[in-house]
Structure formats: structure tokens, C-alpha cells
Amino acid sequence: MGALGVVARPIVSILEVASKTGQSICNHSSPAKWRATVRIRLPRHLNENTPLLPYSWESAVGQAVLLEADYGYFKNEVSSHIHV
């Protein structure tokens, strides 16, 4: 048991580390989790007083700029130009 344990324990430890490393790589590279953490498109502005319009990239970019401009000072501004 002593001589076998001296050889077996390091090998078991190395295999365990390799297994956990492989599992970690699989967990972090799965497409389902990747999609959940990466935004595909900018959010659009929704207002309870206006109808839900089709998504417009230009409008979403404009809203994002307004949210970032002057620390959000213009965040309540709404574009008067409506794309249909």
C-alpha cells in the first residue's frame, strides 16, 4: 500500500486536475451561456403612451447615445421621428 500509494496518489491528483480543467472549459464555452451574457442588439425605447413599433437600429442607437450623453441628462428625451 505504501509504495503503490506513493505512485498512485500523484497520478490520481493530476487526472483530477485535468478533469476539472476540462469541465471548466466546457462550462465556459457552451453557446447557451455565451448567448445569455452577450447583448445581440441595443434595447429599444418603450413608452406607455406610444404603440410598440418594429425594432429600429437607428432609433436604438440614438436612445443609447441619449442615455450616455451628459451622464443620462437626456434619458427622457424621445425622438419625434417615428419609423414605421
At 21-70, the pLDDT tens digits run 888 887 777 666 555 566 778 887 777 887 888 888 888 888 788 777 77
> Which is nearest to 79 in space by CA: 29, 45, 30, 40?
45
Domain span at 52: 41-84
Question: Do 23 and 61 fall within a single domain?
Answer: no
Q: How far apart are the first and last CA of the chain?
A: 79
Grid cell digits, residue 81: 421621428
Question: Do 26 and 48 fall within a single domain?
Answer: no
Verdict on whether the full-model pTM lies above 0.95: no
Question: Do 32 and 55 fall within a single domain?
Answer: no
Question: Do 60 and 28 fall within a single domain?
Answer: no
Question: Do 6 and 20 fall within a single domain?
Answer: yes
Whether 59 contacts 44, CB under 8 Å: yes
